[in-house]
Structure 1
Amino acid sequence: MRFGIKTRPEHTTWARMRDVWVAADDIELFESAWNWDHFYPLSGDLAGPNHEGWTMLAAMAQATRRIRIGCQVTGMIYRHPAVLANMAATVDIISGGRLDIGLGAGWNQQECDAYGIELPPLRERFDQFDEGVQVIIGLLSQETTTFAGDYFRLTDARCEPKPVQRPHPPIVIGGRGPKRTLRAVARWAQQWNAINLNQAEWRELKQTLHAHCAEVGRDPAEITCSVNVRMNSGVEQAAEDAAAWREAGADLVVLNLPHNAEPAVLEPLANALAPLA
């Protein structure tokens, strides 16, 4: 089993988050570090501070040297996918090829209402998401991309310079929808990330993913299956939860740190997780 960390950029400071990521960068057990793509906090005072995810990734790419970095996950509704592709290429270059591109359809009604961003009905949202993923992959991997969809249209579009990772940085699709999300994972992703599930629910969805892979001729072994464990009850409980996910068959556990976490928590956490690695 492999391990990552996630720091929620709500109710905290840039300096504290940077210090946690830099400390994780020095601990070999942690292979990746993640933030999220929201503009409002999701807990506590919803009018409180929350840092923007992608500008933070660019800074973290410069602050770290080894650990992989990503946003878990980027809401497709927030940015035109061609703009996001250019952002991703630049962050991958800054990091020296350490970016994972986390993508999701988006869901936060409060943020959309506040900013005047349209949040389409679910079916339309996933149609838009499918097109957006194809636009991003095309721009990052091809010299020029022409795409004629219902939501996005590109004509001989370029994204230069290209990212370090070829043909493109790994695509991480987050969600648990058995029809649309897992079908998109089977078609395009190198990692599937699932949250807020128990092991029985996750096993059932994993079987659904395998069925989608069979339909599109994809080897499911090519797809890393990751889950999140909230570290709300201490290091030992987090290790027990991770062990349960290892038994269930998850490849990667991302430890969701409290928003006030200090770098000092990482070494005892790594020691507790080491027997599972």
Structure 2
Amino acid sequence: MRFAIKTRPEHTTWQRMRDVWIAADEFEIFESAWHWDHFYPLSGDMTGPNLEAWTTLAALAQATSRIRVGCQVTGMIYRHPAVLANMAATTDIISDGRLELGVGAGWNQMECDAYGIELPPLKERFDRFDEGVQAMIALLTEPVANFDGQYVKLTDAYCNPKAVQRPHPPITIGGKGPKRTLRAVARWAQQWNVIVASPEEWKPLKEILVGHCEELGRDPGEITCSVNVRIDSDQTLDQAVAEASAYGEAGVDLVIMNLPLDTPPSILEPLAKALAPIA
């Protein structure tokens, strides 16, 4: 089993989140660190602070040296895919090849309404997402990219310099929609992340993913399957470790430990020691 951490950039400070990631960088059991892509907090006071994803991610990449870094996951509706591809390439360079490129179709109606961002109906949203992923891959891999989609068009487009990782930074697609999301994972992703309530909910989703892979001629073993385990402030580490262990027994490859809100760096050492026996 492999492990990662995730911090919530809501109701916290840049300094606190930076210090947690720097601390996690010292523990080899944590292979990656993640945060989310939202503009408003998802809990508590919705008018409270919430740090922007990609500017902090680039800074966190500079502040760390070993741990892989990613956003779980970037809402495709918030940034044009060509802009996001350039952001990803630059962040991968800043991190010296440690970026995990997390993407999803997007869902937050409140943020879209507040900022005047269009949130299309579900089918169109996933059509745009599929085109966006293909356009990003083209920009990250081809010297000159052309793409003629219904929603995304590239004409002799450059993304230069390229990312350090080739052919491109590993793509993580988040979500559990059985028809569109899991098929997109089978087509393009190197990691599939999903938030579920239990291993029993995860297992049939993995079977659907395997089915899509078989239809597309993709080896499902090429895709890291990750889930999130949330550590609440009133929960013991033993409870979280037991939950992580159950996912490992179900076949999950990577468990991402969601740290308590505004947690101090001191949580990392006892968490690493608690996870070591099941690693």
Which bin holds the TM-score, normalised by the shorter protein?
over 0.9
1:164-187 per-position Cα deviation (integer Å, ceiling 9, x unaligned): 000000000000000000000000
Instruction: Please tell me whether the aligned partners of residues 196 and 202 of structure 2 are also in contact (alpha carbons under 8 angstroms).
Output: no
Q: Secondary structure at the match of 2:155?
A: strand
Q: Name the structure 2 match of 1:96.
A: 96
User: Which structure 1 residue ranges, 5 or more long, are not aligned?
Assistant: none
- Quote the offset at 1:236 in angstroms: 1.0
Q: Name the structure 2 match of 1:252.
A: 254
Do residues 132 (structure 1) and 132 (structure 2) align?
Answer: yes
Q: Secondary structure at the match of 1:253?
A: strand
1:162-215 per-position Cα deviation (integer Å, ceiling 9, x unaligned): 000000000000000000000000000000000033211210000000000011
- Quote the offset at 1:260 in angstroms: 1.7
Separation of aligned partners in 2, 1:43 and 1:234 = 21
Do residues 157 (structure 1) and 157 (structure 2) align?
Answer: yes
Instruction: Please tell me whether the aligned partners of residues 224 and 253 of structure 2 are also in contact (alpha carbons under 8 angstroms).
Output: yes
Q: Name the structure 2 match of 1:116.
A: 116
Q: Secondary structure at the match of 2:228?
A: strand
Q: Secondary structure at the match of 2:215?
A: helix
Q: 1:270 aligns with which of 261, 264, 272?
A: 272
- Quote the offset at 1:156 in angstroms: 1.1
Paired residue type of 2:239:
Q
More divergent stretch after superposition (194-203 vs 216-225): 194-203
Separation of aligned partners in 2, 1:79 and 1:174 = 17
Q: Name the structure 2 match of 1:208.
A: 208
- Quote the offset at 1:124 in angstroms: 0.5
* Percentage of identical aligned residues: 71
Q: Name the structure 2 match of 1:14.
A: 14
Q: Secondary structure at the match of 1:147?
A: strand
Paired residue type of 2:96:
G
Paired residue type of 2:198:
N
Q: Name the structure 2 match of 1:76.
A: 76
1:5-54 per-position Cα deviation (integer Å, ceiling 9, x unaligned): 00010000000000000000000100000010000000000110000000
- Quote the offset at 1:140 in angstroms: 0.5
Q: Secondary structure at the match of 2:113?
A: helix
Q: Secondary structure at the match of 1:162?
A: coil
Paired residue type of 1:238:
A
Q: Name the structure 2 match of 1:50.
A: 50
CA RMSD in angstroms, aligned pairs only: 0.6
Separation of aligned partners in 2, 1:32 and 1:135 = 26
Aligned length: 277
Q: Name the structure 2 match of 1:234.
A: 236
Separation of aligned partners in 1, 2:137 and 2:255 = 26
More divergent stretch after superposition (63-72 vs 144-153): 144-153
Separation of aligned partners in 2, 1:236 and 1:61 = 30
With normalisation by structure 2, the TM-score equals: 0.99
- Quote the offset at 1:105 in angstroms: 0.2
Separation of aligned partners in 2, 1:140 and 1:91 = 13
Instruction: Please tell me whether the aligned partners of residues 100 and 169 of structure 2 are also in contact (alpha carbons under 8 angstroms).
Output: yes
- Quote the offset at 1:224 in angstroms: 0.1
Do residues 3 (structure 1) and 3 (structure 2) align?
Answer: yes
- Quote the offset at 1:234 in angstroms: 2.3
Instruction: Please tell me whether the aligned partners of residues 187 and 216 of structure 2 are also in contact (alpha carbons under 8 angstroms).
Output: yes
Separation of aligned partners in 2, 1:259 and 1:197 = 20
Instruction: Please tell me whether the aligned partners of residues 128 and 151 of structure 2 are also in contact (alpha carbons under 8 angstroms).
Output: yes
